[in-house]
Structure 1
Amino acid sequence: MSAARDARRVCFLAVVALLLTLAPIDVTAANAQVSRVRQGNASDVSRAGWAGPAYTMNGSGGIVVPTMTRAIDAIRGGSGSIDVVVVAGSGTGTPECDVITPLVGVNSCTTLTLTAARDGDDSRVNTDVRNAEFVYFAGGDQCDYVAWKGTALEASVESVVSKGGGVGGGSAGHHVNSDIVYDACTASATSSTALADPYDRSMTFTTGMFRWPHYAGTVNDSHFVARDRMGRSMAFVARAVKDGLAPGGRAWAVGVEEGASLYLDRNGLATLSGPSAHVVLGDHQPEVAVPGRPLTYTNFKIWKLTNGQTYDFANRPSCGYYLRSVRAGVPDGNLYSGTPVTDCSTPPSDGSSHAEVEPNDSRSAADDISRLTWPVALSGDMKSDSDRDYFAFTLAAGETFTANCAIPDAYDADLYLLSSTGSTLTRSVNDGAGADEAVTLTRTASGSATYYLDLEAYAGSGDTDWTCTVRRS
């Protein structure tokens, strides 16, 4: 019996030895929540300085080799090698590192999968990140990623950029690298839901996580054309401007298509590799952006990039865009391409149009037309004999405002110009259905002030539109 036991023990030890030989020695667990897989060299490189920062912003989760290669070369200054860390919030396998590890200039690539918010404070995770020269956020769920805001991981990633390294990401990882992060923590917004109500429960944002040089005021979006996300990016921009999330009252959406990638160099110049990317600028307050009402925002400025084209985020261009608007939740057609404005010397001067957005029957619910391109062609109707349509605007010292309104034969309407407190400053009350109305006012006081144009039904109603042309001079 003793000989039999010894034989079984020898057999068991042989099996254990075989299993240990086959086991992947580069797979470890930092704790119960974090998995770590390192590929390439076991030791990190050591070097006094790096030549970045450099960034890659990808429209889908996978690595885009041309931009990844450019980032690696920029950071290492054309010589030596770097260590890369891929951070994921879910999933298995190492798809990003499988592509990155064989690239020239890569010493190692480590995949860290973090499954809890507290993993952002894991010491092994932060050591790996701080020793790396490039951090790539994988695709997944950006709500998982914003949970690391305020943990040690946030500061560790920032330290990589500070030492001349770089960051990047695809899909959810693209989102988390913008100044304003659409976090999708309650639901994923579609263009139709976002335009129907820019304050829908799916429209949630995180700010103050990362602010990369030259990239302020941005909100990233991914899978852009394939999933028809222009409309929701327009709503992102309107919310960022309306809620003061972007500095200076201007916000830029950066929508990158699947398979495309923007490479940003240390000077803020972005170059596209792949199908397309769009940069959407909102440079004025939305006319209507309130909870429960469709978005109205005129004259978004949109730059379309194709393979090899550039956009300078450090010196953001003042021409090269085409214009598109959203009125009462309905966007213009052909959102993804247009004829660009090539003359940077003067803005378009042919004015704009605005259709009233109900309910705008009080000063507090007035449509704000201040930031439109003037003159403005207003339109609406009197659906009842008690309907009132209000429009808010500002006048500076010495400016003159005029409004000329064509009233249809279906009803009689009167026109009032009100102060910021609602006092009537001037009015036009011509008698009879179809009688046109007009008012004018010059601001003689110093500074600027808000005024209201109030068109209200006097008798009759109907669906036929009234039209008013308003000017400031």
Structure 2
Amino acid sequence: MRLFAKLSAAIVRAPALFAGVVLAACLLPGFAVAATAPVPLAEGDGYRYYAIGDLDAARPGPVEPGLLLVGGGQWPYEAFRWMIERAGHGHLVVLRASGAAEAQDEFYNDIGGIASAQTFVFSDRKAASDPTVLAALEAADGIFIAGGDQSNYVRYWKDTPLSAALDRHVRAGKPLGGTSAGLAILGAWAYGAMDGGSMTSEVALRDPFDPGVTLVDDFLHLPYLEHVITDSHFAKRDRLGRLVVFVARLHGEGVADVAGLGIDEGAALCIDGDGVGRLYPGGQDGFAWLVRPTQASGRLERGQPLEVDGVRVTGIGADSRLRLPGLEVQAPAFEKIARAGGGELVLRDAAPSAPAASR
């Protein structure tokens, strides 16, 4: 029996029961239909729980490894179907720290092809040690981390049994995905937004040591992302400058092989078990942006604008392939060189890069 199996029948019956209640209510004089927040099926110590589908159903297919990196905004369904297939069309668990059942309902009702989805909405760090939560993660065929505020994920999950469970899930050959804030924490380093704000490129370029540049490490430890810091909503929110700063900060701290990976809003990069990444632009002109320093010269000083040249920026489009961990991009959509100085970032065309050696 799967976790929460005793709730399965109620979950399956819930839509029909709800429809009957609404129909009866509509017959009352003066009734007006109003949107209501979904009611949790259960509440634990520091979390709310939702579920949909048949939690007892057998998983139809085998699971395969995969990482789904989503830039935020509207979901590119083709990429999500890729993850669902790798989860064996089985049982998904959604993790978040705001909202309710929106993501699980979109998985189950709009995309389809899964047996069930469960959601845990966190409000306290102690939930990351809750046996019920950890058992659900252990049994999950796929796990998806929703958007929101990544500082909550850092505060609630870092150095807890939950973060260790996410690492184990991926090592077991099961798919893991994240969008927006959920993408931000998937790399070996993360922009934690720990000051309660959202760092802009303008501020970061003006002072790479601004207190808002909060970089977090040793959170998750995922294969193929060991040298990567991720970023989301990339072109729409003009985040290339801040990712260049993040990479420069880490490079200045002695992380010689660090790379930045930004994903445009509405796009997703799917990385298979062999480390091959394919971009799904989601019907938009979206890219993934690979940011790598190619020389160490420049100025990185507290209170001073970043001065650096030779930062290679490679666009990954629908026809490109990213091969990890060597960071080789086949058929890049574009190649640029970034120069930071005086608080500004300037791009120029670059000659195509030679294939990188695998690490």
Question: TM-score normalised to the size of structure 1?
Answer: 0.62
Q: Distance in 1 between matches of 2:116 and 2:355?
A: 50
Give runs of aligned pairs for residues 386-425 of structure 1, distance below 5 A: none
Structure 1 residue corresponding to 2:55, chosen from 42, 49, 70: 42
- Closer/same/farther in 2, CA of residues 97 and 85 from structure 1, 3 Å limit: same
Answering whether residue 244 of structure 2 is matched by residue 220 of structure 1, we say: no
Is the contact made by 2:316 and 2:329 (CA closer than 8 Å) also made in structure 1?
no
Is the contact made by 2:92 and 2:116 (CA closer than 8 Å) also made in structure 1?
yes
Q: Distance in 2 between matches of 1:33 and 1:39?
A: 21
Tell me the amino acid that sits aligned with residue 341 of structure 2: R
Q: Distance in 2 between matches of 1:222 and 1:152?
A: 26
- Closer/same/farther in 2, CA of residues 40 and 58 from structure 1, 3 Å limit: same
Answering whether residue 280 of structure 2 is matched by residue 273 of structure 1, we say: yes
Structure 2 unmatched runs, 5+? 1-16, 23-36
Q: Distance in 2 between matches of 1:198 and 1:251?
A: 16
Q: Distance in 1 between matches of 2:38 and 2:97?
A: 23
In the other structure, the counterpart of 2:187 is 178
Answering whether residue 331 of structure 2 is matched by residue 317 of structure 1, we say: no
Answering whether residue 90 of structure 2 is matched by residue 90 of structure 1, we say: no
Find the structure with the greater CA-based Rg: 1
Using the TM superposition, give the Cα deviation of residue 25 of structure 1 relative to its aligned residue in structure 2, in angstroms.
Answer: 11
Using the TM superposition, give the Cα deviation of residue 345 of structure 1 relative to its aligned residue in structure 2, in angstroms.
Answer: 8.4
Using the TM superposition, give the Cα deviation of residue 272 of structure 1 relative to its aligned residue in structure 2, in angstroms.
Answer: 0.8
- Closer/same/farther in 2, CA of residues 345 and 310 from structure 1, 3 Å limit: closer
Identity across aligned pairs (percent)? 25
- Closer/same/farther in 2, CA of residues 285 and 42 from structure 1, 3 Å limit: same
Give runs of aligned pairs for residues 7-22 of structure 1, distance below 5 A: none
Bigger share in strand = 1
- Closer/same/farther in 2, CA of residues 345 and 236 from structure 1, 3 Å limit: closer
Q: Distance in 2 between matches of 1:345 and 1:25?
A: 50
In the other structure, the counterpart of 2:10 is none
Is the contact made by 1:215 and 1:268 (CA closer than 8 Å) also made in structure 2?
no
Structure 1 residue corresponding to 2:77, chosen from 43, 65, 78: 65
Is the contact made by 2:313 and 2:336 (CA closer than 8 Å) also made in structure 1?
yes
In the other structure, the counterpart of 2:131 is 123
Higher relative contact order (CA closer than 8 Å, sequence separation 6+): 2
Using the TM superposition, give the Cα deviation of residue 318 of structure 1 relative to its aligned residue in structure 2, in angstroms.
Answer: 7.8
Give runs of aligned pairs for residues 50-199 of structure 1, distance below 5 A: 50-76=62-88, 81-92=89-100, 94-102=101-109, 103=111, 105-147=113-155, 148-186=157-195, 187-199=197-209
- Closer/same/farther in 2, CA of residues 125 and 97 from structure 1, 3 Å limit: same
Using the TM superposition, give the Cα deviation of residue 283 of structure 1 relative to its aligned residue in structure 2, in angstroms.
Answer: 3.9
Instruction: Indicate the RMSD between aligned Cα atoms, in angstroms.
Output: 2.7
Deviations 1:121-166 (A, max 9, x none): 1111111111102111111010111121111111211222122111
Give runs of aligned pairs for residues 300-449 of structure 1, distance below 5 A: 300-317=311-328, 321-332=335-346, 335=347, 339-342=349-352, 344=354
Deviations 1:54-99 (A, max 9, x none): 01111115533111111222343xxxx321111011123x221122
Is the contact made by 1:61 and 1:172 (CA closer than 8 Å) also made in structure 2?
no
Using the TM superposition, give the Cα deviation of residue 313 of structure 1 relative to its aligned residue in structure 2, in angstroms.
Answer: 1.9
Structure 1 unmatched runs, 5+? 1-17, 347-473
Question: TM-score normalised to the size of structure 2?
Answer: 0.80
Bigger share in helix = 2
- Closer/same/farther in 2, CA of residues 25 and 230 from structure 1, 3 Å limit: closer
SS of residue in 2 equivalent to 1:155: helix
- Closer/same/farther in 2, CA of residues 324 and 345 from structure 1, 3 Å limit: same
Answering whether residue 44 of structure 2 is matched by residue 31 of structure 1, we say: yes
Is the contact made by 2:46 and 2:126 (CA closer than 8 Å) also made in structure 1?
no
What is the number of equivalent residue pairs in this alignment? 315
In the other structure, the counterpart of 2:244 is 234
Using the TM superposition, give the Cα deviation of residue 45 of structure 1 relative to its aligned residue in structure 2, in angstroms.
Answer: 3.9
SS of residue in 2 equivalent to 1:106: coil
Q: Distance in 2 between matches of 1:239 and 1:260?
A: 27
In the other structure, the counterpart of 1:459 is none
Q: Distance in 2 between matches of 1:297 and 1:56?
A: 32
Structure 1 residue corresponding to 2:267, chosen from 232, 245, 260: 260
Is the contact made by 1:63 and 1:99 (CA closer than 8 Å) also made in structure 2?
no
